[in-house]
Amino acid sequence: MAVFDCSDPDQRAAGLIEAAAAVRLGDLVVMPTDTVYGIGCDAFIHASVQKLLDAKGRGRDMPPPVLVGTVRAATALVEDMGPYGQDLIDAFWPGPLTIVCKANRALSWDLGDTKGTVAIRMPLHAVALDLLKETGPMAVSSANRSGAPAATTAANAEEQLGESVSVYLDGGPCSDDVPSTIVDLTSAIPRLLRKGAIPVEKLRGIVGYVATDA
């Protein structure tokens, strides 16, 4: 297990190389994002995704979202973004918006019981984006044990996940612990699945109507 302080340029560079290598080998890494710290792996290595779920103490009924480093990578993962996906991406990516779309059926991946959908996001964090551009799409969930508070520091993530993670990229403390907003775009009307950093009013400013359970 290795920890790299990304505020030091040399450690940041070394950490990104080490983390990308770990991801390719099928290991787990912890990285900062623009919301909370994430634990991630190669989205296309089935055993790694299972390792991620095991590290969190989570079942296949809670599949992890996928983080991407470019919009092009996102479009390759989905069958269809619906009528509003591109507008929401233009408005809020990179940033704390996760969109749920129908997954590209040609992809051979196994994120869990997704019912043919995928949740994707492009984070607004330089370290995360640099890593994602090296690795390609990563399955990433919040870096905490299931049911515990989200990790807002690398040390906090390490306390919870320990040796199950190969590389910790320490990007300093998160500004707050608000997760990304999640919107389901798999039907004609966008539906809010989780309140988060982007208020629903802002979403409605782009797409007009967003269904909520409230």
* CA 50 – CA 54 distance, rounded (Å): 6
Whole-number pLDDT of residue 108: 85
Q: Which pLDDT score, from 0 to 100, does residue 175 have?
A: 84
Q: Given this model, what pLDDT does residue 213 score?
A: 83
What pLDDT does 159 receive? 97
Tokens of 182: 């999640």
Q: List the pLDDT tens digit at each of the 214 positions of the chain.
A: 999 999 999 999 999 999 999 999 999 999 999 999 999 999 999 999 999 999 999 999 999 999 999 999 999 999 989 999 999 999 999 999 999 999 999 998 999 999 999 999 999 999 999 999 999 999 999 999 999 999 999 999 999 999 999 999 999 999 888 999 999 999 999 999 999 999 999 999 999 999 998 6
Strand pairing partners for 3?
168
Positive or negative: CA dihedral 53, 23, 73, 15? positive
DSSP designation for 198: S
Cis peptide before 94 (omega within 30 of 0): yes
What token pair was written down for 64? 């992890």
Q: How far apart are CA 112 and CA 60, in angstroms?
A: 4
